[in-house]
Amino acid sequence: MTVRRDHGGAFPDTEQGLRSLPGIGPYTAAAIAAIAFGRRTMPVDGNIERVVSRLFAVEEPLPQAKPLIQQLAMTLLGESRADDAKSRAGDSAQALMDLGSSICTPKKPACALCPLNDDCAARARGDQETFPRKAPKKSGALRRGAAFVVTRGDQLLVRTRPEKGLLGGMTEVPTSHWIAAQDDKAARTQAPALRGVARWHRKTGVVTHVFTHFPLELVVYTANVAARARAPEGMRWVPISTLGDEALPNVMRKVIAHGLAF
């Protein structure tokens, strides 16, 4: 409908025209324009991004370097000639894509086989595998808390996390809040209310885990309760032998292993 309404029924053959179509972004528009219509443009995918960043030793990290890599990639098209019916940009793009996927690979690139190796700045320096540069991931402040491993015979006390949010819908043992600069005493007061717990035993050491946005340290407390002890509201007892069937995140696997270790 858009082609008929806005382009007179003719499928657009320019990058700008293609970008006006619904669902076609910058990369797809450039790829179609170059490969299907021979337009002088360079679609930059991950493979071309890697080849160009190594060829020119682009020090700026991604994603900030994307505009520069796009400009440098365009220089690989060569000079256009008046007698060229088409620029062969599509051939250039596909050749660079193939080069990145088969030779200029992320790990252990086969530089000896690369037709561009004499001009590759990163290869000359010997650090080609470090390109493209990537900005270091930002890590939030360390959060601390407590986890409570409670057993009733051969059963373990667990609960299901809320569906929305971090580790949504997954199984965990009861924990305190995970808060930056939280001290052990404050975390310990958030233990589940259980009858028959004379005292909590603190395990030596801590469990550490790194999430995307923050690192976490959990002190682990353990307790055993009588066979008739009821689970607090929102919690349940599960056989330790069936924990493999539970949706346990890695951090909880660490906690449980630490808590049940002798």
Residue 212: give its domain's CATH number: 3.90.79.10
Q: State residue 83's pLDDT score.
A: 44
3-state secondary structure of 72: helix
Give every residue of the chain whose pLDDT is below 70, as ranges.
1-10, 78-87
CATH number of residue 104's parent domain: 1.10.1670.10
Asked if the structure places residue 49 within a domain, the reply is: yes
248 and 151 in a common domain: yes
221 and 114 in a common domain: no
CB atoms within 10 A of CB 241: 10
How many structural domains is the chain composed of? 2
Which of 130, 161, 190 is the C-terminal boundary of a domain?
130
Asked if the structure places residue 7 within a domain, the reply is: no
pLDDT digits 0-9 by tens, 28-71: 988 898 888 888 899 999 999 999 999 999 999 999 999 999 99
Asked if the structure places residue 137 within a domain, the reply is: no
Q: State residue 2's pLDDT score.
A: 60
Q: Quick one: tokens of 25?
A: 């972004």
Asked if the structure places residue 117 within a domain, the reply is: yes
For residue 219, give its domain range: 143-260
Q: How many angstroms separate the CA atoms of 79 and 242, rounded?
A: 67
